[in-house]
Amino acid sequence: MTGTTIGSVRILGAAFFSTHHASAQDLLAGRERAFTPPSYGLLVGRARRFTSLLTQMHIEVCGALQSIAAEPPIAVFATCHGEIQTAEKLLAEFREGAMVSSARFALSVHNTASGLYSVAIGSHAPTTTVTGANAIAAGWLEASLTALEAQQTVLLSIADEPIPAALQGPSEVGAAAAFLLGVAPGAGRAAQLVVAPSIERGRTPSPPAKPSGPLPPDSLRLSIESPDINPLQVLARAVDAVTRDEAATVPLGRIQPGATLELRFPQDARA
C-alpha cells in the first residue's frame, strides 16, 4: 500500500454513540433503533441546561473513556458543523423577537463541549477544537501529532448533530466517537496515520511533465470506491477496528488536495 506515514500511536480505548444505532457494529450492519438521546452523565445540575445534542454526544463518548485515563488528558474535539442546531435556534429567536437567549448564546461556540468537559472532570489540561468539512481527518491529525510531540495521552472526540431542516440538512442521525491515544509501546491497539494519494471526484489530475501513459488502476481507487467520505461509516469503522485483531484501513477524509488521511491497523501480533 502506498502512502507517507506520519506516525504511529496506540489506541487505548474507543467509544461510540449514535442516536439511531446501539453500537458501531449495528451501524455497519444496518441495524437501526428508534431515536435514543445520550445520557451524558458527566454533566449534572445546571451544567446540563441548554446543552445541544452535539455537546451531549461529545460528553457521552468522553465519559465512556473517563475511567481509562490515569489523569485528565489533553483533549482534541472535532466537528464538521459545530453547534449548528443552537445557531439555528438563535437565528429563529432573533427573527421572531429581535432578542436571543444569553444562556443559549454562551453555548453556541465551537469549544462549548470542550469547556464543559474540562469543568466537569476538573481538568486543567490543554484542549482545542477543530472544525470544517474534513474535521474527522483534521482531528485525527491534530490528536496524533499532539500525542507524539507531547508524549502524553490525548483524548480525541468527534461528533456532529443533524443539520436543521431550515438549512436543508442531509441527515437525521447524530453520532459521536471518542478515542484515547497513547504512545507507550505495547499498550492498546497499534495504528498508523498515513497520507495516501487520491483523486477527487469531478477533478482531473494535472498531467505529468512528460507523457507517461495512462494512470494505473490503483491510482483511481478512491475516486471510484469511496469518492465521498461518509462520517457515520468512518466513525463506526474506526471504533470497530480498535476492537478487532485483523488488519484494517479506514479512510478518514481529505487532508490536502490530492491526498487522503488513512488510519491503518496492522494485524495484532497478540491475537
Closest residue by Cα to residue 179 from 265, 80, 266, 255: 265
**pLDDT higher than 80, residue 201:** no
Per-state percent for the chain, helix, strand, coil, to nearest 5: 35, 25, 40
**Residue 218 domain-assigned (yes or no):** yes
Render pLDDT for 136-147 as a digit per residue (tens, 0 to 9). 999 999 999 999
Q: Provide the whole-model pTM.
A: 0.86
**pLDDT higher than 80, residue 216:** no
pLDDT for the residue numbered 90: 81
Phi and psi of 126, rounded to 5°? -65, 145
Residues in the chain: 271
Segment 222-236 mean pLDDT:
67
Range from 72-76, 85-89, 194-198, 206-210 carrying the lowest mean pLDDT: 206-210
**Residue 93 domain-assigned (yes or no):** yes
Render pLDDT for 76-118 as a digit per residue (tens, 0 to 9). 999 999 888 878 888 887 888 877 777 776 777 888 999 999 9
CA 150 remoteness from chain centre: 21
H or E segment and range at residue 99? none
**pLDDT higher than 90, residue 220:** no
Render pLDDT for 1-58 as a digit per residue (tens, 0 to 9). 689 999 999 999 999 999 999 999 999 999 999 999 999 999 999 899 889 999 999 9
**Residue 102 domain-assigned (yes or no):** yes
**Residue 270 domain-assigned (yes or no):** no
Number of Cβ within a 10 Å radius of residue 114: 23
Segment 250-261 mean pLDDT:
93
Give the sign of the dihedral formed by CA 167, CA 257, CA 143, CA 271: positive
pLDDT for the residue numbered 110: 85
- List the CATH number of the domain containing 142: 3.40.47
Find cell 478487532 and name the residue. 244
HSE, side-chain direction, 13 A CA sphere, residue 161? 22
Q: In what order do the strands lie in the sheet with 4-18?
A: 127-131, 74-79, 154-160, 175-182, 4-18, 189-197, 259-265, 248-256
Render pLDDT for 112-167 as a digit per residue (tens, 0 to 9). 999 999 999 999 999 999 999 999 999 999 999 999 999 999 999 999 999 888 88
- According to DSSP, the β-strands at 175-182 and 4-18 are antiparallel
Segment 242-259 mean pLDDT:
94
Number of structural domains (the chain) is 1
pLDDT band at residue 202, thresholds of 50, 70 and 90? very low
**pLDDT higher than 80, residue 204:** no
3-state secondary structure of 176: strand
**Residue 108 domain-assigned (yes or no):** yes
pLDDT band at residue 222, thresholds of 50, 70 and 90? very low
Q: How far apart are CA 73 and CA 126, in angstroms?
A: 8
- According to DSSP, the β-strands at 4-18 and 248-256 are unpaired
Q: Say which residue, 222 or 20, is predicted with more confidence.
A: 20
3-state secondary structure of 76: strand
CA dihedral 38, 39, 41, 47 (to 10 degrees): 80
Q: Say which residue, 218 or 177, is predicted with more confidence.
A: 177
pLDDT band at residue 200, thresholds of 50, 70 and 90? low
Domain that includes residue 253, residue range: 4-265
C-alpha grid cell, residue 176 = 459521536
